[in-house]
Structure 1
Amino acid sequence: MLVREIMTTRVVSVEPSSTVKDAALLMNRHNIGAVPVVDGGSVRGMLTDRDIVLRCVAENRDASTLKVSDICSHGAVTVSPSQNVSEAINLMATEQVRRLPVVDNGRIVGMLSFADIAREKAGMEIAEAISDISMP
């Protein structure tokens, strides 16, 4: 099975110059815990709710002026749509991440999450439990 067969194609992303507050509002609106940081269609990093808590809130920094590029993880690990899902699973385990941007010819085309894989591989009941656990 290939990544393109189970990935999510509706990608919510932020630009490096976006404020952390705007990114948090976007994540809240879409009920997601992570967004790729994208500049001109290219993935530059990932921003998670954990990044916001640890690198902004816990350090008492101003989310309305702090830029996403100041707190995101740079150099996100990605997969291609033509990669085998088992390769993506191994990459997730190695890198200890639950989500991977899917990149084709240098441009983001989707996201692959642990929940996407579980839905396909483990059946709906387990997938729903994993999705619930993974919710922000």
Structure 2
Amino acid sequence: MQQQLRNFMTSNVYKVTDMQSVQEAAALMSEHNIGSLPVVDQNGTMVGIITDRDITLRTTAQGEAAQTPVSQVMTAQQVVQGTPEMDAHEAAQLMAQQQIRRLPIVENGQIVGMVALGDLAVDNQLGNEAGQALSNISNPSDPQK
């Protein structure tokens, strides 16, 4: 039975614009206890993603100021995305292959949801795949800068 991501995704997605500061992004993450934010342009089109790890490695560790624009720290190229119609099994495999824990869900260029590995793990039918994805995600990889 095919299970679409729209059944698992969080649809109330917090996001930042590419012109907001890293400090603003970090404050939003802290306030809502989340580890990543989709980055949108002024039209609301997703242009990247910023994670707590991006902030740590690309700003704090480099001694950069907190007022650095998100656009200088975010991952912009080849952001892995899903669609609301994507099958949950396919999403789990994609997350494992790409070693990501959170998958932005995009429709017509607009962010409509987020699926975390934990969202998939709570479903009995997907628990094993989520565990396998976590195992693959946890394997060391070369850090991307």
TM-score category, normalised to shorter length:
0.7 to 0.9
After superposition, the C-alpha distances for 1:5-57 in whole angstroms (9 at most, x for unaligned) are 11110101110000000110010000001111112222111101111111111
SS in 1 for 2:84: coil
Structure 2 partner of 1:133: none
Q: CA deviation at 1:122?
A: 2.8
Structure 2 partner of 1:13: 15
1:1-136 → structure 2 map (5 Å cutoff): 1-39=3-41, 40-63=43-66, 65-75=67-77, 76-120=79-123, 121-122=126-127
The one-letter code of the counterpart of 1:5 is N
The one-letter code of the counterpart of 2:97 is T
5+ long unaligned stretches in structure 1: 131-136
Classify 1:90/1:122 alpha carbon distance in 2 versus 1 (closer, same or farther; 3 Å): closer
Give the paired residue count. Answer: 125
TM-score normalized by the length of structure 1: 0.86
In 2, Cα distance between equivalents of 1:67 and 1:19: 4
Q: CA deviation at 1:87?
A: 1.0
SS in 1 for 2:17: coil
After superposition, the C-alpha distances for 1:58-113 in whole angstroms (9 at most, x for unaligned) are 111101x2000101111311110001011111111111111111011221110011
What's the Cα RMSD here?
1.8
The one-letter code of the counterpart of 1:119 is V
Which structure has more helix as a fraction of its residues?
1
